[in-house]
Amino acid sequence: MASQCLMLRSRLVARMVTSVYEDALRPFGIKGSQLNLLAAIAYAGIVRRTEIGKTLHLDISTLTRNLRVMEANGWIENVPDENDGRGSPLRITAKGSALIERVAPAWKAAQRRASRLLGTEAKAALMNLSSDLPV
C-alpha cells in the first residue's frame, strides 16, 4: 500500500521541497509557510483571515498560529473595521514589505534548488497540476 499511496508520495515531495525553502529562509527568521501567508496578504492588500485561509487551504489552527507569530514580529497588522463584526482584516506592514524584499534573493535561490531537485518534467507536472488552484 505505501509504495502506491499518492498521499504518501505527495507528502514526501512536499517535505523535500519545503526543506529547501526552510533552509534558505532560516537566517531571516521566517518559515516558508509564513512567507507564503505574508506574500498572499501583500498581494490581497487588505484581507480577512477566513479569506486567506480558504484561498491557501489552511486549517484554522495552522492559520492562527502563523498569523500570531507574524503579528508579534510586526509583519502584519489588524485593520479596524467598525462596519463588520466578523473580525478585523489584515494588511502587511512596512516591516513585512521590507522582509519580503530582503528574503527575495534567498527565495530565488531556493526556487532554483527546488527546481533542480524536482527536475524539468516533475516541475512542469507540479505546476500543471496546481495551475487551476487559487494562489
- Annotated domain spans of the chain: 31-111
Q: Which three cell numbers stand for residue 65?
A: 498560529
Instruction: Say what the pLDDT of residue 41 is.
Output: 96
Does the structural domain 31-111 have CATH classification 1.20.1090.10?
no
pTM: 0.86
State the pLDDT at residue 85. Answer: 60
Q: Note the pLDDT tens digit of each residue in 44-89.
A: 999 999 899 988 889 999 999 999 999 999 999 999 877 766 668 9
3-state secondary structure of 90: strand
pLDDT band at 96 (very low <50, low <70, confident <90, very high): very high
Q: How many CB atoms lie within 10 A of CB 12?
A: 11
Q: What is the pLDDT of residue 86?
A: 64
Question: Do the Cβ atoms of 76 and 38 come closer than 8 Å?
Answer: yes
Residue 88 pLDDT: 82
Using left for φ > 0, alpha for ψ between -120 and 50, and beta otherwise, residue 90 falls in: beta
118: nearest Cα among 32, 21, 34, 49: 21
